[in-house]
Homo-oligomer: A and B are copies of this chain.
Amino acid sequence: MNPLTDEKISLPTSNSDQENIDLFLAKHENKKVVVVQGLGFVGAVMSIVCANALTEEYAVIGVDLANEQNYWKIKSINEGHFPIIAQDPKIQEFYNNSRAKENFLATYDPMAYSYADVIIVDINLDVAKDSNKMNDLNGYKVDLNAFKKAMTSIGQHCQEDVLLLVETTVPPGTCQKVVKPIIEEELTKRNLSIEKIKMGHSYERVMPGPQYIDSIQNFYRVYSGIDEKSADATEVFLRTIISTENYPLTRLGNTNATEMAKVLENSYRAMNIAFIVEWTRFAEEAGVNIYEVVKAIRMRPTHKNIMLPGIGVGGYCLTKDPLLASWAKQNLFSGDELQQSEIGVKINDKMPVYAFEFLKKNVVGLNKKKVLLLGVSYRQDVGDTRYTPVEIFYNCLEREGSQIYLHDPHVPFWEEKNIKVPQDLLTQLDTEPDVIVISTGHSLYKKNEVLINKIMEMKPILIYDTIGVFSPQEIETFKQKHQVKILGRGDL
């Protein structure tokens, strides 16, 4: 099923898509072929960035699996509908360009790899953990099997001198200790040389949202290669798709270094959030307004980056990257764990549970209340619900027995919960909720007069603003109306 259109889609019956590939390549005889493996939040957008490369005309083929979860994306791309809804207007523009130039094909046939000059790996590498089950998070599991299988598929088809560029966030050590041996083994099986292959690593810093395209095309990149020629080839390729004049590239000494840089920067953020979460609990215990304290501390230039607590940490990166790193340290190298980074994830994973408990403490009979959640995605102005903290918060409310209503302008369908999310804010406000939770800081909820007026007209209501979308003035207005009680950032 295509979740965007509800259209039923039957999966292809044959493994081969050779005809379409041939037709496509015939149109682009003298162009270099870039194949992107994975058509998710990174791969799909990376594909259109390559199809709109700055200094080169590429023929781009996106490859994903012909299964229930992914085939609709392939079909959608080839039929004129980009599979990702995003605030960034450049997404549609870039996709339209690629349609006009006919230089972007999507397929499920791994034969595509055999035509590639460059293969970009943008598949997922997940960590299995218990956070959604609200357990004690004592364990997590890094399973490389799907990733290894994808590498094998490339090794079975690729040319011996291809540039294989891994963008996936991987445990440090993966390119050297996992990718390289697999590719070399497969090339050897096919009696090909293992001397000519180029393997690079350059992690993406993609931000789904209003700067989606720019987070690839106009942003700093760090890269490396398993050897000098690989690093050189990676650099030459990146220069064709990134504005390197404004955002200079940084080459690091080896693939371990770039792999580490990626998970290090995300662990840094995750840890800084976890830090403030712990202190927020302390502040609650001591009757201290943590927002006021953080504001005072931020006046010091050295402390400007100190974060503020929210409903939780979500998304695909911060929730798992510290674990990927700690796992690698223990399993690909011979170290012990990254204690602080692991604890950071554990603290963060519990945030939505704390937020729920805080709400419960403030609402008598929450189990009989109507609760409207404004926002289900993990981050403002994006439609990405992967590991959204709102899911855990939702599960808590559900377990409590509350009647839950949802709204999110960017999420028509909540994949993980298999729920349709209403798109009309007014209709949802008309459900006469007892509690409104601002669970994602979408722009739509900020300075929204309709929303504010509607709230002012309501019967006695409690608002739990976990993000701080309401201004001090708006909060003052709410407070003047005795029927509106505000929690969270409203204390500021």
Interface string of A403-431 (1 = CB under 8 A from B): 00000000000000000000000000000
A172 within 8 A of B: yes
Contact A278 B339 (CB under 8 A): yes
Contact A303 B260 (CB under 8 A): no
**Known contacts A252-B296, A296-B261, A302-B305; is-contact A278 B338 (Cβ 8 Å):** yes
Interface residue tally of chain A, by bracket?
35 or more
Interface centre among A250, A296, A338 (most CB of B within 10 A): A296
Interface string of A332-348 (1 = CB under 8 A from B): 01110011110110010
Contact B292 A333 (CB under 8 A): no
Contact stretch, chosen from A44-52, A113-121, A279-287: A279-287
**Known contacts A289-B253, A293-B264, A343-B343; is-contact A338 B282 (Cβ 8 Å):** yes
A269 within 8 A of B: yes
Partner of A285, one of B281, B295, B329: B329
Bound complex: CA of A172 vs CA of B269, how far in Å?
Answer: 26
A275 within 8 A of B: yes
Contact A269 B305 (CB under 8 A): no
- Which residues of the partner chain B approach A252 to less than 8 Å between Cβ atoms? 288-289, 292-293, 296
**Which A residues from 274 to 315 make CB contacts under 8 A with B?**
274-275, 278-279, 281-283, 285-289, 292-293, 295-297, 299-300, 302-306
Bound complex: CA of A340 vs CA of B348, how far in Å?
Answer: 12
Q: How far is the CB of A28 from chain B (nearest CB, A)?
A: 35
A271 within 8 A of B: yes
**Known contacts A250-B296, A293-B257; is-contact A340 B338 (Cβ 8 Å):** no
**Which A residues from 234 to 278 make CB contacts under 8 A with B?**
250, 252-254, 256-257, 260-261, 264-265, 267-269, 271-272, 274-275, 278
Contact A264 B279 (CB under 8 A): yes
Bound complex: CA of A220 vs CA of B299, how far in Å?
Answer: 7
- Which residues of the partner chain B approach A285 to less than 8 Å between Cβ atoms? 329, 333-335
Contact B293 A260 (CB under 8 A): yes
- Which residues of the partner chain B approach A339 to less than 8 Å between Cβ atoms? 278, 343, 347
Bound complex: CA of A296 vs CA of B343, how far in Å?
Answer: 25
Which chain A residues have a beta carbon within 8 Å of chain B's beta carbons? 172-173, 205, 220, 222, 250, 252-254, 256-257, 260-261, 264-265, 267-269, 271-272, 274-275, 278-279, 281-283, 285-289, 292-293, 295-297, 299-300, 302-306, 325, 329, 333-335, 338-341, 343-344, 347
Which 9 pairs of residues, A with B, have the shortest CB-CB distance? A250-B296, A257-B288, A256-B286, A305-B305, A285-B333, A222-B296, A261-B293, A285-B335, A220-B299
26 A-B pairs whose Cβ atoms sit less than 8 Å apart in the complex: A172-B282, A205-B300, A220-B299, A222-B297, A250-B295, A250-B296, A252-B292, A257-B283, A257-B292, A260-B279, A260-B283, A260-B288, A264-B279, A264-B297, A265-B297, A267-B279, A268-B275, A271-B275, A272-B272, A281-B335, A282-B325, A285-B329, A285-B333, A302-B305, A303-B305, A305-B305
